[in-house]
Amino acid sequence: RKEVEQDPGPFNVPEGATVAFNCTYSNSASQSFFWYRQDCRKEPKLLMSVYSSGNEDGRFTAQLNRASQYISLLIRDSKLSDSATYLCVVNNYAGGGNKLTFGTGTQLKVEL
């Protein structure tokens, strides 16, 4: 089983739609969680951190369920510029260092 699992998509949605991405992780000792966004042939960029209490940044809402080892990202009112690959990321601390483990990414295409 992969450490971080995501549906690879692609998710093709019309502009203005609401879309949700899900992710599961296998290591129950994981300490922190993120969503990164990666545009084609570019580096990953931090979209937002994910907390158990849930957090919102504009049109984006992230949620963590530690009991189910499940992370979600909700995008409301999708824009063309939201088209990208969304990477679910789990952070584990070990040996005094950080290890980010990435999912394979979920591709989103927002269409007119």
Partner 1 sequence: DTGVTQSPTHLIKTRGQQVTLRCSPISGHKSVSWYQQVLGQGPQFIFQYYEKEERGRGNFPDRFSARQFPNYSSELNVNALLLGDSALYLCASSHQTVQETQYFGPGTRLLVL
For the bound state, the minimum distance from the C-beta of residue 101 to partner 1, rounded and expressed in Å, comes to 7
**Nearest to partner 1 of 20, 46 (CB atom):** 46
Q: Note the residues at the interface with partner 1 (CB under 8 A).
A: 4, 31-32, 34, 42-46, 49, 87, 93-105
Cβ-contact 35, 47 below 8 angstroms = yes
Q: How far is the CB of 41 from partner 1 (least distance, A)?
A: 8
Cβ of residue 35: shortest distance to partner 1, in angstroms? 12
Q: Can you say whether the dihedral through the CA atoms of 77, 79, 84, 89 is positive or negative?
A: negative
- Judged on CB neighbours under 10 Å (0-12, 13-18, 19+), 22 is middle
Q: Looking at beta carbons only, is 14 or 95 nearer to partner 1?
A: 95
Residue 58 or residue 96: which is nearer to partner 1 going by CB?
96
CA max distance for the chain: 48
